[in-house]
Homo-oligomer: A and B are copies of this chain.
Amino acid sequence: VPIYAQDTAVVSIAEGRYGRTLSSHFNNPPGNINGGYGLAVCLRALAAEMQHPDPLVISATYLRPAHPGPVEIAVEKIRSGRRHSVGEARLVQNGAEALRVVATFTDLSGLTGRTHVALTPPVLPAPADCFDPNERLVLNPNSVRARTETRWPSAPAYITGNPSGDARAEFWLRLADDEDADVFALASLVDMAAPAVFELGEFSTTTVELTVHLRARPAPGWFACRVSTNFLIGGYHDEDFEMWDSTGQLVAQSRQLQLLVPPPPRPS
């Protein structure tokens, strides 16, 4: 089983309760788990209880950092209707809630309504002709950076030590080892690339809330992504993220509110 699929699976403990041991494969540099990884674990638990297969819109509120190790996910079924199922998940570690998720599920394969898309996908050189930031780095194999692949039209300015001051970027993104993403992985990937605020010279930021819209089941392959931070105000900032699949359809759109923080000490 590919690593991401394996590391997000949950086991049923009891009615509405799921467990797993969070892996260390998707760590942020301080040693806590990536927020998108924690979110997918909650979505897997929710999916086991919902009448519809696909998360459509998700709100995740981050309460405390979570770390590799055992967690329990409590699921509440809020409503089940013809078109939507709605549920809530609470991810608890060491007796404290780390993450609360409310999600509305539907069947994305059965949409028959009108389509009118005003934006176009990022126009990027082929991935093979792009810059790979991982090539120049000695990566901790237990890191979200090593478990994802990105390709950039040219080297991001922040990497050279000269952030551009423009917190917008377009690049390719996928899971490592050519693992293809499903809808659950999309909800992780929107949080797994380098934050746009790196180009403002800010390298430590933490998520308060993340909202994801999932609009279609993705085709295999690379995702063309567009990220921007428009409003850094009093230390808080947004980050908008779009993912377009290899067929040119928008598959995910997210926005998070984050807070710049002093870098935490690395664990010894």
Is A137 engaged at the interface, CB distance under 8 Å to the other chain? no
On whether A229 and B118 interact (CB within 8 A), knowing A102-B61, A208-B56, A211-B211, the answer reads: yes
Q: How far is the CA of A84 from the CA of B61 in the complex (A)?
A: 12
Within 8 Å by CB of A115, from B64, B118, B232, lies B232
Report the bound CA distance from A83 to B62 in whole Å. Answer: 13
- Tell me whether A234 is interfacial, beta carbon within 8 Å: yes
* Identity of the chain B residue whose Cβ is nearest the Cβ of A258 in the assembled complex: B57
A231 to B216, CA, bound (A): 12
With the chains together, A112 CA to B259 CA distance in Å?
Answer: 12
CA distance A238 to B115 in the complex (A): 12
Q: Which of A149-207 contact B (CB under 8 A)?
A: 166-168, 200, 202
Instruction: Choose from B59, B167, B232, B253 the contact partner of A231 (Cβ within 8 Å).
Output: B253
Across-interface contacts of A61 in B (CB, < 8 A): 57, 59, 78, 86, 102, 104
Cβ of A215: which chain B residues have Cβ within 8 Å of it? 231, 233-234, 236
Scan A48-69; emit 1 where CB is below 8 A from any B CB, else 0. Answer: 0000000011010101100000
Give which listed residue, B64, B209, B249, contacts A57 with CB less than 8 A: B209
Contact between chains at A117 and B63 (CB < 8 Å): no
Whether B167 and A118, one on each chain, are in contact in the complex, defined by CB atoms closer than 8 angstroms, is: yes
Give Cα A116–Cα B57 distance, bound, in whole angstroms. 29
Q: Which residues of B contact A230 (CB under 8 A)?
A: 117-119
Binding site for B on A (CB under 8 A): 56-57, 59, 61, 63-64, 78-79, 83-84, 86, 88, 97, 100, 102, 104, 108, 111-119, 166-168, 200, 202, 208-209, 211, 213, 215-216, 228-236, 238, 249-250, 253, 255, 257, 259-260
Closest 9 CB pairs of A and B: A113-B235, A111-B234, A59-B59, A116-B232, A57-B209, A211-B211, A57-B257, A118-B230, A215-B233
Given pairs A113-B260, A215-B233, 6 additional interface contacts (CB within 8 A) = A56-B257, A57-B61, A57-B209, A79-B97, A231-B250, A255-B255
Sample of 23 A–B contacts (CB below 8 Å): A56-B236, A57-B61, A57-B208, A59-B211, A63-B78, A83-B259, A100-B102, A108-B234, A111-B233, A111-B236, A112-B235, A113-B234, A116-B200, A117-B230, A117-B232, A118-B228, A118-B230, A119-B231, A213-B231, A213-B238, A213-B257, A215-B231, A231-B253
